[in-house]
Amino acid sequence: MKIEQIKVEIDKLALSEKLLLVEDLWDSIAASNLQLPLPEWQKEELDRRYKEYQQGNLELHDWTCVHEELREKYK
């Protein structure tokens, strides 16, 4: 089935059915997450940051504080 045909069929669904479909799609994506390619530059950046963390050269921030700062910034 082509994407356009799928869209037409989705438009025919009730809202509750669409929400269930979205949930199923997210579950499917999460289950195949290990198959998603990670570009080499991202791997290198993650490795660099992890090394900095292990060496104690990275300043860490508590998520609660980060969340509050973002809320204040975008009020």
60 phi, psi to nearest 5 deg: -95, 150
3-state helix/strand/coil string of the chain: CCHHHHHHHHHCCCHHHHHHHHHHHHHHHHHCHHHCCCCHHHHHHHHHHHHHHHCCCCCCCCHHHHHHHHHHHCC
10 pLDDT exceeds 90?
yes
Q: What is the pLDDT of residue 12?
A: 96
Sequence-separated (6 or more) residues with CB below 8 Å from residue 60: 53
75 pLDDT exceeds 90?
no
Full-model pTM: 0.46
- pLDDT tens for each residue of 11-62: 999 999 999 999 999 998 888 777 778 899 999 999 999 999 999 998 888 9
Q: What is the pLDDT of residue 36?
A: 74
